[in-house]
Amino acid sequence: MSQRVAVIGAGPSGLTSIKSCLDEGLKPTCFESSDDIGGLWRFKETPEPGRSSIYRSLVVNTSKEMMCFSDFPMPADYPNYMLHSQLLQYFRLYAQHFDLLRHITFQTSVLTVRQRPDFSRSGQWEVVTENREGQEQRHVFDGVLVCSGHYTQPVSPLDQFPGQFKSFPGRCLHSWEYKDAEAFRGKRVVVVGIGNSGGDIAVEISRAAEKTFLSTRKGAWVLARMSSSGLPLDMTAISRFTVLLTSMLPRALVNWAAERTLNHRYDHRLYGLQPTHRLLEQKPLINDDLPGRILQGAVVLKPDLRGFQGSGLLFQDGTMEGDIDAVVFCTGYNGTFSFLPPSLCSGPQGDLNLYRRVFPPALERPTLAIMGLFQTKGPIFPAVEMQARWVTRVIAGLTQLPPRKTMLSKIETETKRNMKSYLCPRQAALHVDYIPYLDSLAEQVGVRPNILGLLLREPSVGLRVLLGPCTPYQYRLRGPGKWDGARQAILTQWERVAQPFRTRLEPEPPRPLVLLSPLLITLSVGAVMLAVVLSQCKLTLCLQDLLQDSTHLLDWLSALL
């Protein structure tokens, strides 16, 4: 008899979890509190308490080839960076293609998830749900996948200014409530917080408001979505070659080279953006327009907010901006899982320990997983999909977890390492390195690409996997869930990048396999110099041995030709 699995939430995490359950022979039942799929990415004119909310103009920060699910490429004519409505349409296509909707029960909320009395033996859970008529129902499941997201409880700093903001005559709101800039036309507005939402909202409001101020405590390194030659940034930056290169170089050198490249475009100190941290110590801000709006005087950078004074706002440098009409707080969210047992319901503040950011190690049986509760400098969806592929195999008994002691030790080691690299405790608790994280989970599933084997058997694919962008298709080349179209998807990924540009046809020269940006060239030179210094290292000797194999070299050259 198939094991029954509850999937809580029908956003992107929930959809790929349903599919992974089906792939492993499990029987999923998804509970979705709203009347449609999409989760965070379904725009609604009015925000609903307890649910995620996005603004009308939201565009994704990762490109279509990098963020798609591994066995379902996005349509070639989709733009590389999509509006939220196009991404939602992709999820609809995905659900339709794999027949996922019949496994979803809509307008049904999960009230509680509790262990059964015989949990230590059965690993089963009792799930209590409530439908739109208010009727409760109890279910028993062999596994639970929590896919409800963690952008539902806005964090507001107003409690830091007791009594002050109550006398403020203007409007105070969180970005969770923000939809568009029309309500701020002709007004003086302060946006607090310089994360991705804060940058987007400040830029958009500045096109309608009389004056827009952007308050930031730490500043930010600003990256555009566009890289060299106008290509998507993540397609040129996120590759196995880049990971190998940066791992060979001192972290300080990588920071220096990358920061120098960013400051070559616009001086962060001159623009008031200069952060208190190095580039690799915190997530950068992705924004195409903010520097231009600062250059035009439409957005004015201010330090951290210190308090309210009548209709004015005081800042940490002692300055005040008066006659402020509205304050928009872009200050993040707390993730809560109120339906879980008290020991598991905490949110992403570092107090919810998860093995590989998925499994609570305290459970006697690994039959509950929390999906998507991590941060990474890369696309989220392929990582969540890999989590789902791993989790479903664990629940199905096809893959085992290590002993609890080992899991706790791994969590402690990763947390300490992240605390050394990231200034923000929340980011340190949640951060995973994109490619190493996917590879570690893929190793457990049995789908990690065998790069050496690919280079020997099919160098045209192997070189693209090693040197090109780390697109999700790499994890469908072998093992459980192998997809016959993965090879072709890798070979044609740049064609899908180019497709939406082909509205005015011009002869297209052949594209080189590896796109070398100035930063990549700088790092490559540094790596070569370091390799010379470390010429006695085993890694260098292995590389020398490999390069001496003329047969391999001929194969590679023939592939390039």
pLDDT above 60: residue 535: no
What pLDDT score was predicted for residue 547? 41
Per-residue confidence (pLDDT) for residue 506, from 0 to 100? 74
CA atoms of 435 and 512, how far apart (whole Å): 23
pLDDT at position 532 is: 46
Same domain, 45 and 175: no
Residue 152's pLDDT is what?
81
The 10s digit of each residue's pLDDT in 335-374 is: 789 999 988 865 444 457 899 999 999 999 999 999 999 9
In a domain, 465, yes or no: no
Q: How much is the pLDDT for 151?
A: 83
Give the model's confidence band at 526: pLDDT under 50 very low, under 70 low, under 90 confident, else very high.
Answer: low
Question: How much is the pLDDT for 499?
Answer: 97
Query: Are residues 214 and 345 located together in one domain of the fold?
Result: no
Of 280, 311, 331, the one marking the end of a domain is 331
Helix axes 459-467, 240-248, angle to 10 degrees: 50
143 and 202, same structural domain? no
Interval 379-395: pLDDT, tens: 999 999 999 999 999 99
Where does the pLDDT of residue 524 fall: very low under 50, low under 70, confident under 90, or very high at 90 and above?
low
In a domain, 58, yes or no: yes
| pLDDT tens-digit readout, 273-293 | 999 899 998 899 999 999 999
In a domain, 364, yes or no: yes
Residues above pLDDT 90, as percent of the chain: 78
Among 82-86, 147-151, 416-420, whose mean pLDDT is lowest? 416-420
Say whether both 70 and 190 belong to one domain. Answer: no
- Looking at the predicted structure, is the pLDDT value of residue 72 above 90? yes
At residue 345, the pLDDT reads 67
76-96: pLDDT as tens digits: 999 999 999 999 999 999 999
pLDDT at 128: 99
Average pLDDT over residues 467-478: 98
Q: Which of 12-16, 282-286, 413-417, 534-538 has the highest mean pLDDT?
A: 12-16
Read off the pLDDT band of 528 (50, 70, 90).
low
Is the pLDDT assigned to residue 537 strictly greater than 50? no
Q: How far apart are CA 367 and CA 370, in angstroms?
A: 10
Nearest to 94 by CA among 71, 62, 76: 71
Q: Give yes or no for residue 309 having a pLDDT over 60.
A: yes
81 lies in the same domain as 21: yes
Q: Are residues 60 and 29 in the same domain?
A: yes
Tell which of 419, 444, 469 closes a domain. Answer: 444
Show the tokens assigned to 119: 């949990």
Rounded Cα distance between 15 and 49, Å, is 23
**CATH number of the domain that 386 lies in?**
3.50.50.60
**φ, ψ at 222 (rounded to 5°):** -105, 125
Residue 194 has pLDDT above 80, yes or no: yes
Q: Are residues 367 and 282 in the same domain?
A: no
Whether residues 100 and 184 share a domain: the answer is no
d(CA 15, CA 69): 10
**3-state secondary structure (DSSP) of residue 285:** strand
Answer yes or no: do 284 and 405 share one domain.
Answer: no
Predicted pLDDT at 22: 99
Closest by Cα among 281, 275, 258, 218 to 427: 281
Distance in angstroms (rounded) separating the CA atoms of residues 54 and 485:
34
**pLDDT tens string 25-39:** 999 999 999 999 999
Whether 513 is in a domain gets the answer: no
Is 204 within a domain?
yes
Say if residue 67 is in the same domain as residue 16: yes
Q: For residue 541, what pLDDT is reported?
A: 40
pLDDT tens figures, 234-258: 999 999 999 999 999 999 999 999 9
Given 413, 444, 475, which residue is the final one in a domain?
444
Predicted local distance difference test score (pLDDT) of residue 552: 42
Task: State the distance between the two ends of the chain, measured CA to CA, in whole angstroms.
Answer: 53
Banded model confidence at residue 429, pLDDT cuts 50, 70, 90: confident
**Dist. CA 72–CA 58, nearest whole Å:** 23
Contacts of 51 (CB under 8 A, 6+ apart): 33, 34, 152
State the chain's mean pLDDT as an integer: 90
Domain with 82, as residue range(s), is 4-152+334-444
Q: How much is the average pLDDT of 411-429?
A: 80
**What's the chain's length in residues?**
561
List beta partners, residue 302.
215
pLDDT at 514 over 80: no
Q: What are phi and psi of 450, to 5 degrees?
A: -90, 90
**pLDDT confidence of 331, banded at 50, 70, 90?**
very high
pLDDT of 521 higher than 80 = no
Residue located via tokens 């457990």? 444
Using left for φ > 0, alpha for ψ between -120 and 50, and beta otherwise, residue 174 falls in beta
In this prediction, residue 2 carries a pLDDT of: 83
Instruction: Give the pTM.
Output: 0.89
Q: Is 454 domain-assigned?
A: no
Q: Where are the beta strands (DSSP E) in 298-451?
A: 299-302, 305-309, 312-315, 320-321, 326-329, 333-334, 368-370
Domains in the chain, number: 2
- Is the pLDDT at 538 greater than 50? The verdict is no
Confidence of residue 530 (pLDDT cuts 50, 70, 90): low
pLDDT for res 422: 75
Pairing state of beta strands 143-146 and 4-8?
Answer: parallel
Q: How many helices (DSSP H) and strands (DSSP E) are in the chain?
A: 20, 20
pLDDT interval class at 482 (50, 70, 90): very high
86 shares its domain with 103: yes
Band the pLDDT of 544: cuts 50, 70, 90: very low
* pLDDT reported for residue 347: 46
Give backbone dihedrals phi and psi of 160, rounded to 5 degrees, phi first: -80, -10
Calpha distance 368→380 (Å, rounded): 20
Amino acid at 59: V
Query: What was the pLDDT predicted at 501?
Result: 95
Same structural domain for residues 315 and 339? no
Would the pLDDT of 558 be above 50? no
Residue 187 maps to a domain: yes
Q: Is residue 15 part of a domain?
A: yes
345 or 502: whose pLDDT is higher?
502
**Tell me, what DSSP letter sits at residue 431?**
B
